[in-house]
Structures are given as structure tokens and as C-alpha cells.
């Protein structure tokens, strides 16, 4: 069997849970159509719980329809872009679905972005309207970008009365330098209030025909190797397909009868699609958190009897040691999933010892509408992010060519499926580089170096851009980090290559020690530890101790920022 045939044979199908097949029936619907169907079935069920305030599916639909009517009256048309500069809150859900309902597209903006980054996204996405948390408005104003509509909303709008002040004060601590515009300023600047307009308009949005295959639902921005972020073009069809694929892969979820913790940020594709859209397209209840407060999350899990928990590695790294983790009966949950970064084996082992439950890893990108792989529920494999979802094709090719590699060889992961983006917004060259044609099929080059084993399980090695070349050897930064994390006194680590004319790149490790070890462990001790656990060419030549490391929006160590620091110095 030649390499291409080995992937075409889809060996992973043998390890799908019983009854799951590779074909998926994808309804030809828009995202709002999918939601409205759920409302017809589960109108009286609770859709959102926001710090004790419950909103039913019927009420949520009414709010969405009111806001959709308002947006249309404010001049938002089919094809326009509505920017969401919001924390997790009911207004996020309302705005998201309302914009899509009238044929507009959304572009979610990270609440931690600077005004420079916000300006880029507003201008690049052609946004004409922004719905903004009032406490974050300063950053929008500083961009100088003139918007057709600026709609402000307060986190307190949907909080229970007794929590309104508490919510404002909690946000004030996080965004202390921000201030809420005064009513006088809002009037003079022509700013609109979310609550005012949602009360003013009836729930009678215009009827808009949406073509799921062509009409864009979202422009989520993803960080590139260098330079400013770029947007993946995701259609309604991409999003509806992904929901069908996930439901086919995880059939143990019962429509209309699950409860999910929603603390992952909705501006990120993971929180937006895997948590928010998946929940609201299946009639689940979402317990919404504006900030990922561990105590609040653990209390809510037991109070509401959560059935699914979606986290990121830093969350599990923290929870495995946290004193209150045992308050939750983790074995009762139907799914504990981890994505957005690689989960270190030491974390997996400690978690299983502590809770008696398993974490199921997955893999995906903004470009795949969040997911392409998941771990089979009855047969996860440690060190693997699982197998392709139903309806997906996956293969490994040369990372600098297009020849297929044999099973077990490390190369670049390529993907084909109904959830793959249409391209990058306004980035023709980058689209051509990422979406390639092989024998008449469109494949996404992921930029990730992986391998597939004989059983069809995939294993992550590194991002292509994080591969370090030392004396002709290829060194995966992640492998070095894995070893560093096994040191009992290392809290966090990031590994990058430092350009060197003699050897190509020197391996440098940035290390954060546990507080009790700081000042007591030397660089030499760390290097010696690596020598005992790594091949000679993988051992870091430079160790730099730090109090903390730069993180991405979802909490993983940002090697890109570490490289940029090196370049600047």
C-alpha cells in the first residue's frame, strides 16, 4: 500500500465507538435556522444561567429577534460585519445570533486586545457596527476608527439584582484603568445603549434568505506566524457541518438534556463553536461565566450537575493541584475535554490519580471551525489527540513539499472536510499557501507537524514554525518542554531557537520555577536534568529564569512572543 492509500483507507474507523459511521448527514440550514428549530422543541427549557439568572430558549429567541430588528433598523445589512468586543455574557449570545439572523457576519474581538490590535481588526474586517462592553469602550475610542453604530452594554444588565454591584466591582478590579462613559458623553458621541434598543424594538426581524454554502457567518481572527492576525472565512455551512460531525462522534449527548460550563472565552473559536454553538444547537443549558473563577465554576458544577466540561491545559494543570477540585465528582461527567494546546503527560497522569477520571484530548484550529480530531470515548490513547471526526479526511505530507509520507513518519498534517474554512479574508496569497489542491481535492495545510500510527491515531510533535534546527538535527520545542515539565520544581516552560551562525539555532529554555525553588536552583542543574532525559542534541544550551511567561488568550505559553523578544534584543 502506498502512503496516500494508507490514509485513504482511514484505519481510524476501526476504533470509532460502536454504531458510529464515517458519513454525516449535514442539514442545509443557517446557524439561526438551527437555533430556531431547537427553540420550537425546547422553548420552555433553560438556555442560559448567568450567575443565577435563568433565561429560557423562548426568552432568548425573543431577545435575539428584538436585537436583530434593531440592527436592521440601524442600517446593518446582509453581508455587513458586526464586531463583538464583549466578555462572556448573555449579550454576546444575543448579538451573535441576531447579526447572523439578518445575514450579517460577526467578528469576535479579544477583550484583552490593545487599541492598536482592535483598530486592525475593525478596519480589516470592514466592521460597520461594534457591540462593546461599556467598561472596554476606552480602547475602541482610542482606535480613532469611525463606526456607523457603537452599542454599549453593561455586564450588570443580565445579572440578578443582588449581584449587579458585585459584578461591576469584580470587573473594576480586572479593568481598573477603564471607565464607563457618562450618559452625557454617550449622548454627545452618539453611542447607543443595548438595553434601550432591545426594549424599543419588537421581535420582528426582516426575513433574510441565507445561502449556507456561500454566506459568511464569522470572521474569527487567528494569530499568524508573524505580523498581525488574519481572519478565517467561516460560512454558515462550515458551522452547521461541524455541529453535525461532533454530534455524530459524541452520540452519548442527549439533545435537550445536558448542562455545560461556559467559561472558555467566546471570542476564541473553542468557546464560540464547541461550547456556545454546540450547546445552543442541541438544546443544552449553558452556565455562563464572565471570568473563569475556579471556585465559582466548581460550585456551579455540583449545584447544577454539569454533564460536560471543556478546558485548556493550564486549567487542568491548576486543577490537578487545587485543594477544592475534589468537591466535584468528575467520574459522573459524560465528557471532560481538553483543547487549544497540548496537554502534558505529567498533567494527564496527575489528573487521573487525583480524580479517577480521564481527559479526552482533541485537535482543531480556527481554520477547521474549531475541531477536526477527537479521542474515541471508549478508547483514548495517551499521547494522542485522537482520530478524525466523521466526514473528515486527514493525511501527512512533507512539510516542505506535497508528497505523502508513510505511516509513522512525522510531517505536516493536511485536512479535508465540510468544516474547513473558505480561505483567509483579504489574504489571497496566504489562502493559496494554506488551501492546496491534491488530485482535484482541496486540502488545508495546518502548519502542524504530526504523525499517524498504524491504528489511525494522530500524535502532535510541534508547530512547523517552532521546529528548531541544531547542527542539522530537527528538535521539537514541545519535546524539550515535556521533559522540563517533569522537573518537580518547574512550574512553566517555553522553548525557542536562537539563531546561531555555527550551529543554525541554539536551544533556549525560558523557565518559571515554583516559588519555593526560586533562587535555589541553578541554570546548570536544569541543563543536567535535561542531559539525563534527552538526547544530547536536544539539551538546551541557554536557560533563562523568569517570574512569568507571555501567554496567549487561552493561556498557553506564547513562543511567538518569546521569539519576538529575542529578535528585538
Residues 181 and 255 in one domain: no
* Global confidence as pTM: 0.87
What are the grid coordinates assigned to 279, written together? 450547546
Alpha helices, DSSP H, located in 112-271: 115-124, 137-143, 164-174, 183-189, 194-200, 236-249, 269
Q: Please report the pLDDT score of residue 552 as a whole number.
A: 77
Instruction: Answer with the one of 462, 495, 522 that is the final residue of a domain.
Output: 462
Q: Rounded to 5 degrees, what angle do the CA atoms 82, 85, 86 make?
A: 120
**220 is a domain residue:** no
**381 is a domain residue:** yes
Residues 42 and 96 in one domain: yes
Nearest in space to 265 (alpha carbons), one of 340, 325, 318: 340
Residues 430 and 331 in one domain: yes
132/113: higher pLDDT: 132
Residues 424 and 545 in one domain: no
Residues 322 and 236 in one domain: yes
How far apart (Å, rounded) are the C-alpha atoms in residues 489 and 104? Answer: 50
3-state DSSP percent of the chain in helix, strand and coil, to 5: 40, 25, 40
**417 is a domain residue:** yes
Residues 424 and 294 in one domain: yes
CATH of the domain at 45: 3.40.50.980
Arithmetic mean of pLDDT over the chain: 91
**224 is a domain residue:** no
At 506-534, the pLDDT tens digits run: 999 999 999 898 989 999 999 999 999 88
How far is residue 250 CA from its own chain's centroid? 19
CATH of the domain at 445: 3.40.50.12780
Domain extent at residue 155: 31-209
How many CB atoms are closer than 10 A to CB 79? Answer: 11
Q: Reply yes or no on whether the pLDDT at 474 is more than 80.
A: no
**222 is a domain residue:** no
Angle between helices 477-486 and 345-355 (to 10 degrees): 40
**184 is a domain residue:** yes
Residues 427 and 493 in one domain: no
Specify whether the CB–CB gap between 497 and 468 falls below 8 A.
yes
Q: Please report the pLDDT score of residue 112 as a whole number.
A: 85
Into how many domains does the chain fold? 3
Q: Reply yes or no on whether the pLDDT at 17 is more than 70.
A: yes
At 133-169, the pLDDT tens digits run: 999 999 999 999 999 999 999 988 998 876 655 555 5
Residues 19 and 58 in one domain: no
Which of 93-102, 325-334, 349-358, 547-556 shows the lowest per-residue confidence on average (mean pLDDT)? 547-556
Specify whether the CB–CB gap between 135 and 111 falls below 8 A.
no
At 428-458, the pLDDT tens digits run: 999 999 999 998 999 999 999 999 999 999 9
CA dihedral 247, 252, 254, 255 (to 10 degrees): 0
Residues 203 and 257 in one domain: no
**232, β-bridge pairs:** 424
Could you identify the residue written with the cell 468528575?
Answer: 330
How far apart (Å, rounded) are the C-alpha atoms in residues 168 and 190? Answer: 24
pLDDT > 70 fraction of the chain, expressed in percent and rounded: 96
Residues 199 and 109 in one domain: yes
Nearest in space to 308 (alpha carbons), one of 368, 369, 244, 374: 374
Residues 20 and 37 in one domain: no
Residues 481 and 432 in one domain: no
At 238-250, the pLDDT tens digits run: 999 999 999 999 9
**225 is a domain residue:** no
Amino acid at each position: 500500500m502506498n502512503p496516500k492509500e494508507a490514509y485513504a483507507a482511514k484505519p481510524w474507523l476501526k476504533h470509532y465507538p460502536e454504531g458510529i459511521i464515517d458519513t454525516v448527514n449535514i442539514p442545509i440550514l443557517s446557524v439561526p435556522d438551527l437555533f430556531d428549530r431547537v427553540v420550537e422543541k425546547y422553548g420552555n427549557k433553560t438556555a442560559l444561567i448567568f450567575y443565577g439568572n435563568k433565561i429560557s430558549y423562548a426568552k432568548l429567541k425573543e431577545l435575539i429577534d428584538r436585537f436583530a430588528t434593531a440592527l436592521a433598523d440601524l442600517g446593518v445589512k446582509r453581508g455587513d460585519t458586526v464586531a463583538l468586543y464583549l466578555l462572556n455574557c448573555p449579550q454576546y449570545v444575543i448579538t451573535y445570533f441576531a447579526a447572523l439572523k439578518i445575514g450579517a457576519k460577526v467578528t469576535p474581538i479579544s477583550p484583552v486586545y490593545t487599541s492598536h490590535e482592535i483598530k486592525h481588526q475593525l478596519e480589516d474586517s470592514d466592521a460597520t457596527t461594534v457591540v462593546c462592553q461599556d467598561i472596554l469602550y476606552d480602547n475602541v475610542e482610542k482606535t480613532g476608527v469611525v463606526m456607523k453604530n457603537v452599542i454599549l452594554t453593561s455586564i450588570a444588565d443580565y445579572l440578578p439584582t443582588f449581584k449587579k454591584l458585585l459584578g461591576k466591582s469584580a470587573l473594576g478590579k480586572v479593568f481598573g484603568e477603564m471607565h464607563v462613559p457618562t450618559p452625557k458623553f454617550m449622548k454627545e458621541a452618539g453611542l447607543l445603549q443595548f438595553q434601550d434598543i432591545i426594549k424599543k424594538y419588537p421581535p420582528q426581524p426582516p426575513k433574510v434568505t441565507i445561502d449556507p454554502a456561500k454566506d459568511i457567518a464569522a470572521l474569527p481572527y487567528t494569530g499568524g506566524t508573524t505580523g498581525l492576525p488574519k481572519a478565517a472565512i467561516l460560512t454558515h455551512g462550515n458551522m452547521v457541518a461541524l455541529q453535525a460531525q461532533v454530534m455524530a462522534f459524541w452520540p452519548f449527548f442527549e439533545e435537550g438534556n445536558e448542562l455545560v460550563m461556559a467559561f472558555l472565552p467566546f471570542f476564541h473559536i473553542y468557546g464560540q463553536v464547541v461550547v456556545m454553538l454546540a450547546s445552543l444547537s442541541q438544546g443544552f443549558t449553558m452556565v455562563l461565566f464572565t471570568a473563569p473563577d475556579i471556585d465559582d465554576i466548581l460550585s456551579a458544577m455540583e449545584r447544577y450537575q454539569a454533564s460536560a466540561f471543556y478546558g485548556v491545559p493550564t486549567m487542568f494543570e491548576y486543577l490537578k493541584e487545587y485543594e477544592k477540585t475534589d468537591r466535584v465528582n468528575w467520574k459522573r461527567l459524560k465528557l471532560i475535554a481538553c483543547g487549544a494546546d497540548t496537554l502534558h503527560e505529567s498533567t494527564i497522569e496527575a489528573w487521573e490519580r487525583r480524580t479517577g477520571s480521564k481527559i479526552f484530548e482533541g485537535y482543531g484550529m480556527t481554520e477547521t471551525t474549531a475541531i477536526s480530531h477527537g479521542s474515541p470515548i471508549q478508547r483514548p490513547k495517551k499521547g494522542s489527540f485522537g482520530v478524525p471526526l466523521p466526514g473528515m479526511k486527514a493525511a501527512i505530507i512533507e512539510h516542505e513539499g506535497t508528497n505523502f509520507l508513510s505511516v509513522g513518519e512525522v510531517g505536516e498534517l493536511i485536512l479535508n472536510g465540510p468544516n474547513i474554512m473558505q480561505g483567509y479574508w483579504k489574504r489571497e496569497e496566504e489562502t493559496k499557501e494554506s488551501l492546496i489542491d491534491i488530485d482535484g481535492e482541496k486540502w488545508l495545510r495546518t502548519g502542524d507537524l504530526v504523525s499517524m500510527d498504524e491504528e489511525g491515531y494522530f500524535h502532535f510533535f510541534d508547530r512547523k514554525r517552532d521546529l528548531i534546527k541544531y547542527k542539522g538535527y530537527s528538535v521539537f520545542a514541545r519535546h524539550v518542554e515535556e521533559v522540563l515539565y517533569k522537573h518537580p520544581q518547574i512550574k512553566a516552560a517555553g522553548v525557542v531557537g536562537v539563531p546561531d551562525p555555527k550551529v543554525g539555532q541554539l536551544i533556549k529554555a525560558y523557565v518559571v520555577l515554583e516559588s519555593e525553588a526560586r533562587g535555589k536552583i541553578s541554570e546548570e542543574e536544569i541543563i543536567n536534568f535535561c542531559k539525563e532525559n534527552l538526547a544530547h542534541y536536544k539539551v538546551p544550551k541557554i536557560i533563562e529564569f523568569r517570574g512569568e511567561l507571555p501567554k496567549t488568550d487561552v493561556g498557553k505559553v506564547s513562543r511567538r512572543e518569546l521569539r519576538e523578544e529575542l529578535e528585538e534584543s
